[in-house]
């Protein structure tokens, strides 16, 4: 049995639900899993989640970071410049050294590249240290590390688990991503995507149909007694419906349209739980429109307690905008988190999401670019509590289908196939 798994993920591993589910499933099945992630201040560099599941976070610090920190102090840097200039009057190479230091220390892109390169190399070192039987790369930003460890430094099996459509994704517009993915796929033994729409896209682009492992959450029992009292925490009147968005506060997720819809919603307070790049912009937008009593923000919460917050909601939102194929083809994790908590959803009318929302009558689909359509759907469920209650009951039935316990055997079967090929 190929029982040692080295898994890579390019994040801090604090709220990555899919990776947590996969690592937990493997460790419970008897595999020894080391998850290699990125370190962040305040998090442990090593962590044990299960007897067979360990996390190793790679430091972003440059090997000479104390020296770099000293040199970034302006008075010391000016002194170095003066000293170098004095030496350069007699010998020119110090000018080249000064130029190199300036590039490394004074330009943010070069510092970012330097720190990412350090993490990249540390991931390879950590991945090769134990000679794992299987290397598992989550997304394209860890695939090269896995290829180097599995194929160029050893003879191990390699799984590429793509959570996103790497070639049509917000912020990833360069054709280099597609070129890199096509090249690295030749070394991959198994490729995984999260739904059939994306798998069909891969088939059309690369000529093969990948394995499909859906993004379903852990199964939970609905229990109103363990929900968090968001009304009290946020100063919302007890009878006011909570209209919840949970997840990354990022562009392309329809959150600006949701705020624009707020004045047209007759009853209810919008609550956004999470953090992200555009959160300051949205907070400013709320303040400029005097919507502070209608829209509330909360910091992100840990995965293990998030369902307790979700259960407090009357409605959940999944309003991705059609900005790229990655959004259009998504079957978002948060959609199923709402369903698992019995919360009806107002969602975008995209293929995978619509299939679930309409097919199981767990919510309403709308044009996610249209604030008026969003407000109309909210008002429909707020003003028709019996309809919302029926959708709540449908959620409780649907969660018996859309849960990780149903999907886990499919995922473990992929590893069993790999073990048979070894």
Query: Is 233 a residue whose pLDDT tops 70?
Result: yes
Average of per-residue pLDDT across 232-248: 94
- Residue 196's pLDDT band, with cuts at 50, 70 and 90, is very high
Q: Convert the pLDDT of each residue in 334-362 to its tens digit.
A: 999 999 999 999 999 999 999 999 999 99
Q: Give the C-alpha distances (Å, rounded to integers) separating 413 from 17, 39, 88, 257, 409.
A: 20, 31, 65, 42, 6
Strand 53-58 with 46-50, pairing: antiparallel
- At the fourth CATH level, the homologous superfamily of domain 4-61+111-215+405-421 is Glycogen Phosphorylase B; (3.40.50.2000)
Separation of alpha carbons 2 and 412, rounded Å: 12
Q: Which two tokens stand for residue 276?
A: 């992200």
Confidence of residue 92 (pLDDT cuts 50, 70, 90): low
DSSP structure string for 337-388: HHHHTT--EEEE--HHHHHHHHHTT-EEEE-TT-HHHHHHHHHHHHH-HHHH
Q: Which residues pair with 172 in a beta bridge?
A: 169
Q: What band does 190 get if pLDDT is binned at 50, 70 and 90?
A: very high
Give pLDDT tens digits for 125-146.
Answer: 999 988 899 999 999 999 999 9
Could you write out the three-class secondary structure of 249-284?
CCCCCCHHHHHHHHHHCCCCEEEEECCCCCHHHHHH
Same fold, 4-61+111-215+405-421 and 224-402: yes
Q: Are 407 and 20 in contact (CB under 8 A)?
A: no
Q: Where are the domains of the chain?
A: 4-61+111-215+405-421, 65-109, 224-402
pLDDT at 99: 59
> What tens digit of pLDDT does each residue of 113-123 get?
778 888 999 99
pLDDT digits (tens, 9 = 90+) for 309-324: 999 999 999 999 999 9
Q: Output the furthest CA–CA distance in the chain (Å, rounded).
A: 87
The confidence band for 107, taking pLDDT boundaries of 50, 70 and 90, is low
Give alpha helix (H) positions in 159-288.
176-185, 196-206, 230-234, 255-261, 279-288
Q: How many CA atoms lie within 13 A of 145 on its CB side?
A: 29
pLDDT of residue 186: 96
CATH number of the 224-402 domain: 3.40.50.2000
């Amino acid at each position: 049995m190929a029982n040692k798994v080295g898994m890579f993920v390019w994040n801090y591993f604090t709220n990555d639900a899919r990776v947590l589910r996969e690592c937990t499933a493997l460790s419970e099945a008897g595999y020894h899993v080391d998850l290699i992630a990125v370190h962040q201040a305040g998090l442990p560099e090593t962590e044990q989640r299960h007897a067979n599941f360990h996390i190793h976070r790679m430091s972003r610090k440059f090997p000479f970071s104390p020296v770099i920190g000293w040199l970034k102090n302006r008075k010391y840097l000016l002194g170095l410049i003066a000293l170098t200039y004095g030496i350069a009057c007699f010998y020119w190479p110090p000018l080249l050294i000064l130029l190199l230091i300036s590039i490394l220390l004074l330009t943010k892109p070069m510092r970012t590249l330097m720190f990412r390169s350090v993490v990249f190399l540390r991931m390879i070192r950590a991945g090769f240290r134990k000679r794992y039987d299987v290397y598992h790369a989550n997304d394209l930003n860890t695939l090269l590390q896995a290829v180097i460890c599995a194929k160029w430094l050893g003879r191990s099996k390699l799984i590429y688990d793509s959570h996103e459509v790497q070639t049509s994704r917000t912020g990833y517009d360069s054709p280099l991503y597609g070129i890199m993915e096509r090249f690295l796929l030749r070394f991959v033994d198994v490729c995984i995507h999260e739904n059939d729409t994306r798998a069909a896209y891969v088939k059309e682009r690369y000529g093969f149909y990948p394995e499909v492992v859906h993004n379903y959450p852990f199964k939970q029992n609905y229990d109103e007694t363990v929900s968090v009292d968001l009304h009290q925490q946020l100063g919302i009147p007890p009878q006011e419906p909570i209209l919840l968005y949970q997840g990354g506060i990022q562009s392309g997720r329809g959150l600006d349209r949701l705020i624009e819809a707020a004045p047209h919603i007759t009853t209810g307070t919008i609550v956004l739980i999470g953090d992200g790049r555009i959160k300051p912009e949205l907070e400013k937008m709320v303040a400029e429109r005097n919507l502070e009593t209608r829209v509330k923000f909360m910091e992100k919460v840990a995965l293990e307690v998030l369902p307790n917050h979700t259960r407090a909601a009357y409605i959940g939102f999944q309003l991705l905008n059609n900005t790229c194929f990655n959004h259009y083809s998504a079957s978002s994790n948060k959609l199923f988190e709402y369903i698992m908590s019995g919360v009806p959803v107002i969602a975008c009318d995209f293929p995978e999401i619509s299939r679930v929302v309409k097919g199981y009558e767990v919510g309403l689909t709308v044009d996610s670019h249209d604030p008026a359509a969003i407000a109309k759907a909210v008002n429909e469920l707020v003003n028709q509590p019996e309809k919302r209650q029926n959708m709540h009951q449908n959620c409780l039935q649907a969660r018996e289908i859309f849960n990780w316990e149903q999907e886990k055997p499919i995922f473990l079967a992929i590893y069993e196939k790999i073990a048979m090929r070894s």
